[in-house]
Amino acid sequence: MQDLTETQKKLLEVGKREFLEKGFKNASLRDIVKKAGFTLGAFYGYYPNKEALFCALVEKPAQELLNYYFSMCEKFKELPILEQIKQLGDVPKEGMHWSIEHIYDNFDAFKLVLCCSSGTKYESYIDKIVEVETASTYSFIDRIKSESENYLHIDEDLVHILSNSMFSGMFEIVVHDMPKSRAKEYVHTLHEFFVAGWQKILRL
């Protein structure tokens, strides 16, 4: 929290505690301000509304994760098709490893996003990541179509469902407050499950 005033730091500290305990919808702005020891006027000098305070707590790490996945997908897209097939298991594994480190470095922020964000723009956060993954996967499938006669048709709805299942599963490490060591084992197994599944479906 660099370059923040002491007032902002206190508001963010109390806001985080209230949001984690009650969720965004049920947390009272008046209670946050009162517990922080300030007036509503002082609050509005920094944030226009309650959601702006919530966003200040989660925006940076949440956007960094989204940007990382987008970057990973773009790099994968640029590879030759045979290299894509070869790296099908390695790229997601690298991405999940980075994600675990990033999530646990910013655990409270992701707890807020995944468990307490109803009523904010972050309630659809997983959907945004799934959209990136779905588009990347379907682009990969389109390339396989042109290279393989053994291709099994897969529609976009199935790709979306599988992508959503993967990320929803991965984020269970936050929902259930898993210790980091256990989360690594869990995500590793999840990764192997989905890679094997995709290889079977795509007949690779």
H helix intervals, the chain: 6-26, 29-36, 40-44, 50-78, 81-86, 90-105, 107-115, 125-147, 156-170, 172-175, 180-201
Local structure of 162: helix, strand or coil:
helix
The 8-class DSSP code of residue 58 comes to: H
| DSSP string over 172-193 | HHHHTT--HHHHHHHHHHHHHH
CB atoms within 10 A of CB 122: 22
pLDDT given at position 44:
97
The 8 Å CB, 24+ separation contacts for 173-182 are 173/100, 173/103, 174/103, 174/107, 174/110, 174/111, 174/114, 174/115, 175/114, 175/115, 177/111, 180/100, 180/104
CA 30 to centroid of chain Cα atoms:
30
Per residue in 133-182, pLDDT (tens digit) is 999 988 888 888 777 666 667 888 999 999 999 999 999 999 999 999 99
* Ranges under pLDDT 50 in the chain: 1
pLDDT for 55: 98
Per-residue confidence (pLDDT) for residue 202, from 0 to 100: 83
Helix crossing, 107-115 with 125-147: angle to 10°?
Answer: 90
From residue 191, alpha-carbon distances to 87, 118, 128, 165, 171 in Å are 13, 28, 20, 12, 13
pLDDT of residue 2: 58
